[in-house]
Structure 1
Amino acid sequence: MGQTDSKPAEDGAAPAQEAAPVQAEGLARLQAITGAKAVETKIKPRGPKAAATDVEFIKNSLGNLLLFGRLDIRAQLKIAEHMWERSVTAGEILIQEGEVGLAASELYVVKTGKFEVLERRKGVNMRVNVKESGDVFGEVSLLYNCPRTATVAATTDAVVWVLERDVFRKYVQEAAEGEVGQIELFLNSVPLLSQLSREAKLRLVDAFVEEYIGAGTVIIREGDPGDKFYIVKSGEALVTQGGKEVNRLFKADFFGERALLSNEPRGATVSAVQDTVCLTLDRDTFVEILGPYDKIMQEVKSDTAAQTRMALLKPRGSAAAAARPRSDIRIRVRGPGGNTRLVVASGHLDEVQELAKGGTKLGASGNGAEVEGLLLVEAALLGEGAFSRVSEVTEVTTNRTFALKRMNKTAALQCPEHVYCEQHISKNTANAFCIRQYASFKDPHHLYFLFDLMQGGDLMDVLVAEAKIIKFPVPQQGGMRQGCLAPKVKMWQGMEEGMAKFYVASIVLALEYLHDSGIVYRDLKPENVLIDGQGFAKLGDFGFAKQIDAGGRTYTFCGTPGYVAPENVLGRGYNHSVDWWTLGVLMYVLLTARQPFSSPKTHDPMEVMRRIVDERWPVKYPPYMSPAGKDLIMRLLERKPAKRIGMLQGRAADIKNHKWFADFDWAALAARRMEPPRRPQESDMSKRKAELEDSHRADPEVPPMTAEEARECEATFKDF
């Protein structure tokens, strides 16, 4: 689907000239992104480490960056200390537009010299910027493997300091883990909180707010009602009762913990002796996240309290995995011009035997015995991903149709852990609102998954069909033209709220199931919500899904630009909270056919990231959106994950009970007895099928693979 080059109007307004809904800003199909596989043997720096006298200059140069400026001073210094110098001669190209991989994994700070920044526009290299001492370029490379968007060339002899992505992410993660560990230790020392489970303590960690208190300031006053708990992070505080000094508080000391139970009067006055930093938690937030204290203690003491968790991913190379029998799967693949060829793959027998009991005789094995297996015949392409394609196939014994996902092995080498997580999680997922995997297998060049066939396309197809330009009265500020007299303005509208409610509710049920199983999905977007033949929605594509232990976090940057949560962008660790954020983005897109962080329009991914993490940047809502719908989106797009709806005490139930879902029959949806608001139509898929066929006509039958890549693929996917 295309994307217009015209700048979208503010507050939901449409371009002055009407266009097809497919051209709406928010309707472009977006590719997911992720951090590449870590390089085990790092290339040695091609220059000396930054001198100690340069570290402060480097730190100040990096200070305004989104990803660097929010780190504590120790992490900033450690990162600056691990940068190294590189000399660049006049005329040398330091960055080439379009580069990927290792060439696009470094950020640069100019020490001396000058650089010009060139962008190719209509076949001409245009100078768009100049970089001099102290300037920085390449920030997005610290997040993920993104093609370089411009060429940077030296106009004089120059020297730069180089920061590698792996180094940056390592020290960001270390800093985040250290901070979480420190706060957890603080909480363990508070008798009132020491009995909480580790999971509960870690949920509180994200809820604390740093407060900077100037020297001489009264923090709490004796006799005042209390509603906030404090932990001293740095500095010194004085405790007095009746005007008499009774104590001094330093790092890791705490006070005011009784405020988490009630608003009883403060028993003492606490004042900052010097500039002091405290971690604070108010009672309302405590109750929102964990519930009333007495209820928490009942749950802690309960012998029956337990949570069902899926088995962790079985270690690759284990004896159990190696001993599992395998069976042949043959696939008749359609090639260019309608030609077909037979591909022989190998999969685990216990995964495929139920599909065709009795088996299909596929010929003699090496020992002369008849081999049983599956024969799949490819019919048509259904979709594609970053390094995969999905086609419709038929199993010849039962004449049953499936969706076959095929991944290029060499491309999958970038992130093999994602592949193994998808194999494990989608195989063990059994829920009416999640796609089901029936088998996984491989041949020398590809990896395969056999899934439910979703004949209705995806939620993006539905949105494209429903999106339209409307005329809506917009009152003029300070003017007399209000109500029905207000001028009507053209603006984009997505699907009707009743229809969106059906799909959002289906996703809530899917995420609730996954989260209860300890799984974070991490790539929710319309393209990954699939529609079956009846019109029901299922969550599909578990390529970024991951199992997380109770209270645990993960640090890999992954997701789709515009949808990623603030805690994912900042690289400081996240959990299931990111899925509720992306649900808020998806709900906004469904209702408006636009992205919430896309206006004013920008092609700079870092600008979108800045808007996502900046609490001062407001999301703009079109006037036709209902107050309840706006309220739910705002609560899902809460930038502090601990306060985000879905992460509070009620978890998913808080979303189900939100006023936007008033009178919604959750039981009927869960039982699939609710009538879907839209039945799939052949037109939803036919055009895209044709486009996919055209785009893949020139694909080679067998993807190119070097001998070295073949060896690495064999070793990496040995247990697939």
Structure 2
Amino acid sequence: MEVNDNLKQRPKNCVDVWSKWKTQAIRYRRTRMEAKVKELQQKLEKQCQINQELQNEKQYLELSQRFSTDKVEVRQSRAAVMAPEPIPDDMDISTTRVKKTASEKAQIIKAMQKNDFLSRLDEEQISMMVELLTSLDCCPGDEIIKEGTEGDSMYIVAAGELQVTQAGRILRTLTSGDVFGELAILYNCKRTATVKAVKAVKLWCIERQIYRSIMAIKSKKKREQLIGFLKTARTFKSLSDELLSSIIDSMEEVKFQENEVIVREGAEGDTFYIILKGEVQVTKKVNGQQKIIRKLGQGDHFGELALIRLHGTFKDSRYIYMVMDFCSGGEIWTKLKEVRCFEENIAVFVAACVVEAYAYLHKKDIMYRDLKPENLMLDSRGYVKLVDFGFAKKLRRGQKTYSFCGTPEYMAPEIIQNQGHDFAADFWSLGVLIYELLAGSPPFSSTEPQKIYSKILDGVIRYPSHMGESARSLISKLCRPRQGQRLGNTKNGIKDVRNHRWFNNMNWHKLRMRQITAPTVKLIRKGPCYINFDRFPFDKNLAEEDFSSWDRDF
């Protein structure tokens, strides 16, 4: 009866009350769980941050330990090379001429034509080299070249036998007609092997200074000759030497065989010709017969109607110091090697920064001449800065310079051939840079500098399948062998580069105003100020004190 009374005293809506209590309890538990989850997330994020900092410190310590050992492993970046300007063209190099028999000349020419590099010289250059080669007689056991020493001569074997060794290991044997040491006539480099006479040997040799003078004299003489020819043409006679020089850069030397037709009557005329050598007949069809109406010779023409900032410097008795912007993001070279190749939007941004740097330098008549990923650095916002102006040179428009300098993979053909170069060489290297950013390696590469130069002179670029059509188009236009046909060196200058479709999504004004969020920023590691840089061993050798005052104006 008591139970029944209690049941009678329970409220009628007890089910509703219990339901409300249950709902409130669930809400309470859910709120506590959400708070707990949020707390755990915060702890996890903090732990991740700590882990990242520890990882950065670990990387730095590993690098420090690696460089503290006797066996130092340093990342191999590409070294630039340079040869000085050739001797003045008014210097008489004919004093080095050595008389040679017809058979000796034929042997030398044959040897040069077999050599991948020398075979690219024209007939006049080969002829001058043949005349200026000097003879050298060696006895058995004589060392002509010693591994590790610097050389400045190239040799052609006239007779005898020589042995090539590297670190004591025999590589090959040289006999009559072989060429060796040709890299030394381009720039000052260390010999990579030892060459020793096995039998009595006769060699023909030429020094770098003589070779480079031959190339420079020939090129300068030809340019002066062409400018003189152009000034006789009605269309060009009123143009400045600067414009005439640009026209010459666009010209290409073409050879025609006897009786070969150059321009056919009635065909569309879109080419201008200057006759450098030989004779041309101009004919016209009259009553069904070809009649000679004019003869043209040498000089005649036809078809004419058709930066990183420097904040300050100081010095002491041992060193000079330069205070520059701190680029905390490190080298583009380092980032490229970490990811192998860049995404296209990153490559576009990096190249655009270089274009703006070029625009500034070229406006001030300064050539850069050493573009490569090793000389591009990232600031804290991911913007690219050009560094290392060791090869930069001020040059008046229309002039040429003949220094052999730059990084082999990035050299323009005209530098390798000593034809004289100008601002167009910078645009060639821009094309090479874009290729390397997208492909991970330059288009002309080899472990041997001589092979690199041969590939550049061949001018054949093989594109990877993943590279887009617009990128290929830009690279091919920047890497034109003819300077005057190279994008950036044409009528509209650097505007043509900016307007190329590969840069369609680039807002150049915002780039200059630094209003773009740089896609390169994701390449920059967070951590200590040194985290984005390679570590190198400390140089304990102090420079000698110098009181000569050579740097008094520094």
TM-score band, normalised by shorter chain:
0.7 to 0.9
Equivalence map 1:481-520=2 (5 Å): 494-520=341-367
Shift of 1:212: 2.0
Q: Under a length normalisation based on structure 2, what TM-score does the superposition of the two structures give?
A: 0.79
Distance 2:351 2:528 in 1: 20
- With over 3 angstroms needed to count, the CA separation of the structure-2 counterparts of 1:684 and 1:652, relative to structure 1, is farther
Instruction: Answer yes or no: is the 8 Å Cα contact 1:106–1:142 preserved in 2.
Output: yes
Distance 2:499 2:343 in 1: 20
SS of equivalent to 1:91: coil
Q: What's the counterpart of residue 192 of structure 2?
A: 149
> C-alpha distance in 2, partners of 1:613/1:642?
16
Alpha-carbon shift at residue 558 of structure 1 (Å): 0.7
Match of residue 606 from structure 1:
450
Structure 1 equivalent of residue 499 of structure 2: 657
AA aligned to 1:663 is N
How do residues 466-545 of structure 1 correspond to structure 2 at under 5 angstroms?
466-467=339-340, 494-545=341-392
Q: For 1:230-270, what per-residue CA distance to the aligned partner results, in whole angstroms no more than 9, with x for missing partners?
A: 211111122234343332111111112111xxxxxxxxxxx
| CA distances 1:102-146 after superposition (whole Å, capped 9, x unpaired) | xx11111112211011122xxxx2211111122110011011111
Q: Which residue of 1 aligns with 2:321?
A: 448
Q: Identify the match of residue 462 of structure 1 among 314, 335, 338.
A: 335
Select which of 122, 127, 141 maps to 1:91.
141
Q: 1:534, CA displacement in angstroms?
A: 1.7
Question: What displacement does 1:560 show?
Answer: 0.9
Task: Report the 3-state secondary structure (helix = DSSP H, G, I; strand = E; otherwise coil) of the residue aligned with 1:225.
Answer: coil
Query: What do the CA deviations read for 1:461-481 (whole angstroms, capped 9, x no partner)?
Result: 3323433xxxxxxxxxxxxxx
**Does 1:703 find its partner at 2:547?**
no
Query: Contact conserved, 1:462 with 1:684, CA < 8 A, in 2?
Result: no
Judged with a 3 Å threshold, the aligned counterparts in structure 2 of structure 1 residues 688 and 80 are, in CA distance, closer, same or farther, namely: farther
Q: 1:230 to 1:157 in 2, by over 3 A?
A: same
Of 100, 103, 118, 1:52 maps to: 100
Letter in 1 for 2:154: L
CA distance in 1, matches of 2:86, 2:538: 31
Residues 65 and 139 in structure 1, CA contact (< 8 A), matched pair in contact too: no
Q: 1:107 — aligned with what?
A: 154
Q: 1:36–1:145: 8 Å Cα contact kept in structure 2?
A: no
> Deviation digits for residues 285-334 of structure 1, max 9, x if unmatched?
xxxxxxxxxxxxxxxxxxxxxxxxxxxxxxxxxxxxxxxxxxxxxxxxxx
User: Greater helix share, 1 or 2?
Assistant: 2
Q: Match of 1:240?
A: 283
CA distance in 2, matches of 1:235, 1:567: 26
Question: CA 1:39–1:178 in structure 2 vs 1: closer, same or farther (change >3 Å)?
Answer: closer
Distance 1:648 1:146, change over 3 A: same
The equivalent residue for 2:111 is 61
CA distance in 1, matches of 2:267, 2:350: 49
| Counterpart-to-counterpart distance in 2, 1:90 and 1:258 | 65
* Superposed counterparts of 1:287-326, under 5 Å: none
Shift of 1:684: 9.5
Q: CA deviation at 1:533?
A: 1.6
| Residue matched to 2:525 | 681
- Residue 585 of structure 1 aligns with which residue? 432
Q: Which is greater in Rg?
A: 2
For 1:216 and 1:173, locate their aligned partners in 2 and report how far apart those are by CA, in whole Å.
33
The Cα shift of 1:687 comes to 5.7
> 2:6 matched to which residue of 1?
none
Which amino acid counterpart does residue 170 of structure 1 have in structure 2?
Answer: S
Q: How does 1:545-564 map to 2 (within 5 A)?
A: 545-564=392-411
1:30 is aligned, of 62, 73, 78, to: 78
CA distance 1:136–1:465, shift in 2 (3 Å): closer
Alignment match, 2:54: none
Q: Which moved more, 1:173-182 or 1:229-238?
A: 229-238
Alpha-carbon distance between aligned partners in 1 of 2:87 and 2:257, rounded to the nearest angstrom: 45
In structure 1, C-alpha distance between the alignment counterparts of 2:332 and 2:257, rounded to whole Å: 52
The residue that corresponds to 1:128 in the other structure is 171
Match of 1:218, SS? coil
2:116 corresponds to 1:79: no
Q: Following TM superposition, by how much is the alpha carbon of 1:66 offset from its aligned partner in structure 2, in angstroms?
A: 4.9
Compute the RMSD of aligned alpha carbons. Answer: 2.5
Percent identity over paired residues? 32
CA contact (8 A) 2:281 2:295 kept: yes
Please state whether the residue corresponding to 2:266 is helix, strand or coil: coil
Write out per-residue CA displacement over residues 651-704 of structure 1, whole angstroms, 9 at most, x where no aligned residue.
Answer: 111111111111321111011101111333246974675622xx125x21x225
1:116 aligned to which of 163, 166, 181 = 163
Report how far residue 446 of structure 1 moved.
2.8
Aligned counterpart, 2:311: 438
Q: How do residues 188-337 of structure 1 correspond to structure 2 at under 5 angstroms?
A: 188-241=231-284, 242=286, 243-259=290-306
Q: TM-score normalised to the size of structure 1?
A: 0.61
Deviations 1:346-399 (A, max 9, x none): xxxxxxxxxxxxxxxxxxxxxxxxxxxxxxxxxxxxxxxxxxxxxxxxxxxxxx
CA distance in 1, matches of 2:516, 2:475: 24
**Structure-to-structure mapping, 1:368-447, within 5 angstroms:** 434-447=307-320
Q: Does 1:627 align with 2:469?
A: yes
CA contact under 8 A between 1:49 and 1:85: conserved in structure 2? Answer: no
Tell me if the contact between 2:147 and 2:191 (Cα under 8 Å) persists in the aligned partners: yes
- CA pair 442-571 structure 1, distance change in 2 beyond 3 A: farther
Q: State the distance in 2 between where 1:529 and 1:607 align.
A: 26
After superposition, the Cα gap between the structure-2 partners of 1:49 and 1:655, relative to the gap in structure 1 and judged at 3 Å, is closer
Over 3 Å counting, the alpha-carbon distance change for 1:246 and 1:32 in structure 2 is same
Whether the aligned pair in 1 keeps the contact of 2:252 and 2:482 (CA below 8 Å) is no
Q: Decide whether the 8 Å contact of 1:140 with 1:606 is kept in 2.
A: yes
- The structure-2 alpha-carbon separation of the partners of 1:37 and 1:620, relative to structure 1 and needing over 3 Å to count, comes to closer
Deviations 1:204-229 (A, max 9, x none): 11211222222223322333332222
- Cα distance in 2 for partners of 1:640, 1:107 equals 28
SS of the residue 1:562 aligns to: helix
Q: Distance in 2 between matches of 1:114 and 1:688?
A: 53
For 2:515 and 2:472, the matched residues in 1 are separated by 28
Do 1:234 and 1:250's aligned partners in 2 also have CA atoms closer than 8 Å? Answer: yes
What is the distance in 2 between the residues matched to 1:508 and 1:70? 32
Please point out which of 668, 680, 697 is paired with 2:510.
Answer: 668
Write out per-residue CA displacement over residues 564-601 of structure 1, whole angstroms, 9 at most, x where no aligned residue.
Answer: 11111111111111111111111111112122123xxx
